[in-house]
Amino acid sequence: MNVQENISLKQYNTFGIDAAAKYFATFESIAELEEVLNSKLQTPNSKLILGGGSNILLTKDFDGIVLKNEIKGIEVVNEDEDHIYIKVGAGENWHQFVMHCVQHNYAGVENLSLIPGNVGASPMQNIGAYGVEIKDVFYELEAFHKQEKFIEKFSLTDCDFGYRESVFKNKYKDQFVIANVTYRLNKRPFFNTSYGAINQELERMGVKELSIQAISQAVINIRTSKLPDPKEVGNAGSFFKNPIISNEQYLELKKAFPNIVAFPSGNDHTKLAAGWLIEQCGWKGYRKGDAGCYPKQALVLVNYGSAPGKEIFDLSEEIIQSVKKTFRVDLEREVNIIF
Ligand code: FAD
Ligand code: EPU
């Protein structure tokens, strides 16, 4: 265990925010994590568990200890006629795990290709894209309770997954460190091409016979065409969630804004495209200093170079206020704000 002091976190967050951590350590096992937690460095209420740093916004220097999870390992732990069960260390890179599955013909995560970050964060907000969410392939996970120092298993129902939600963002917020996740993948693929853009891309690619490899490549192509690469422009993907409102409120909005982009969400609710709402308020392509709203996708806020996290946060606040004023809809941040 090597604890560093006063280091810049710029390379550890995809927004590229140059905030400092008072202490910084990595851990490759729960035993190593316990060692750090038991050391004299621990400062109450100021521990940040870090994966790939692709869903956080640091608003200032972090006056505590940042603990980067580097627990590794990909292991087939069980198999039945239809499924393969793979246990993956929280510190494994998500996209590399997806590529491992695609190469071995384990189906289920191909639609989630190219999502940045690590395996350990995938259940935190039930990552999702192109018609699939982690809950569709999740089997169980093991997590360590930081305060009480025990390891607990969580099943699918224990995690209480919802749209960009889980028990770890709510009831157990900041309590557990996810050590590993077991996914249940399919030996026989169920192709999910329900998201319109996938079919269009498969057609453009000239794909005659569907495969998980082709779907993965189609998703990679779509994502590269509209989302900024954090290596070039700092960002954390969608900054806000797509708001879910009652069908009643939606019908009122539709009268006033006939072009509003929306999708059914269960029987009684409608999900609005937040990108559309933000674009209509005139923010798409906006830039003030190095903080901006991405010109190709209004839901993504960006750091063009050296924006302080506070400026990105302030921009997000202005966007929330203007969407509220124009549409009377509340936007909720998807990115975890570190104050
Ligand atoms: P971090 O940013 O390191 O952490 C996120 C949160 O989880 C923090 O609160 C952290 O404390 C906590 N955490 C991390 N690891 C652990 C652990 N092991 N135990 C306990 N807590 C932990 N997300 C989607 O859902 N769909 C997308 O399509 C998508 N596209 C994106 C595109 C781009 C270009 C970018 C930059 C981001 C995108 N994201 C997307 C968001 C992000 O990739 C995911 O939320 C990802 O799962 C975050 O992983 P991470 O390891 O980087 O988490
Ligand atoms: N739109 C606009 N203007 C914009 C952006 C979007 O009008 O600037 C409208 C378009 O009509 C478009 C629709 O919104 O068809 C939906 O846009 P898109 O397909 O890009 O998806 P999204 O709803 O903006 C969500 C997720 C993404 C995920 C994609 C694909 C959330 C908050 N975001 O974005 O996840 O990759 O769908 O499934 O649910 C992330 O969580 O970080 C993320 C990138």
DSSP three-state, residue 214 = helix
Q: What is the average pLDDT across 136-165?
A: 97
pTM: 0.98
* Annotation says 39 is catalytic: no
Closest ligand to the CA of 194: 2
Q: pLDDT higher for 1 or 295?
A: 295
pLDDT of residue 39: 84
- Going by C-alpha positions, the residue among 222, 225, 331, 229 that lies closest to residue 278 is 331
- Fold classification of 234-338 is 3.90.78
Q: What is the average pLDDT across 49-72?
A: 97
CA of 80 to the centre of ligand 1 (A): 31
Helices (H), 129-192: 156-159
> What confidence category does residue 243 fall into, taking pLDDT thresholds of 50, 70 and 90?
very high
Q: For ligand 2, is residue 276 a contact (CB within 6 Å)?
A: yes
Query: Per residue in 19-39, pLDDT tens?
Result: 999 999 999 999 999 999 888
Q: Which of 113, 216, 238, 316 is catalytic?
A: 238
> What confidence category does residue 268 fall into, taking pLDDT thresholds of 50, 70 and 90?
very high
pLDDT of residue 42: 59
Query: String of b and e for 194-230 (b: at least 16 CB within 10 Å)?
Result: ebebbeebbeeeebeeeebebbbbbbbbbbeeebbeb
Mean of the per-residue pLDDT values of the chain = 97
Residue 41 has pLDDT above 80, yes or no: no
CA distance 111 to 134: 10
Q: How many CB atoms lie within 10 A of CB 96?
A: 11
Query: Per residue in 159-198, pLDDT tens?
Result: 999 999 999 999 999 999 999 999 999 999 999 999 989 9
* Annotation says 333 is catalytic: no
pLDDT of residue 45: 65
Write the residue with the smallest CA distance to atom 25 of ligand 2.
129
> What confidence category does residue 247 fall into, taking pLDDT thresholds of 50, 70 and 90?
very high
- Going by C-alpha positions, the residue among 89, 48, 59, 55 that lies closest to residue 173 is 48
Closest ligand to the CA of 229: 1
pLDDT of residue 180: 98
Query: Per residue in 306-322, pLDDT tens?
Result: 999 999 999 999 999 99
Q: Which of 122, 164, 166, 216 is catalytic?
A: 164
Helix axes 94-103, 212-226, angle to 10 degrees: 150
pLDDT of residue 44: 55
* Annotation says 164 is catalytic: yes
CA distance 149 to 117: 25
Q: What residue spans define the domains of the chain?
A: 4-69, 74-186, 234-338
Query: Per residue in 321-338, pLDDT tens?
Result: 999 999 999 999 999 999
CA of 235 to the centre of ligand 2 (A): 15
74-186 classified as CATH 3.30.465.10: yes
> What confidence category does residue 87 fall into, taking pLDDT thresholds of 50, 70 and 90?
very high
Q: Which atom of ligand 1 is the closest one to the Cα of 13?
A: 2
Q: What is the average pLDDT across 222-236?
A: 97
CA distance 21 to 66: 7
Task: Out of 299, 316, 329, give the residue to mutate to test ligand 2, the one with the largest number of ligand atoms within 8 Å of its CB.
Answer: 299
Q: Which CATH number fits domain 4-69: 3.40.225.10, 3.20.20.450, 1.50.10.20, 3.30.43.10?
A: 3.30.43.10
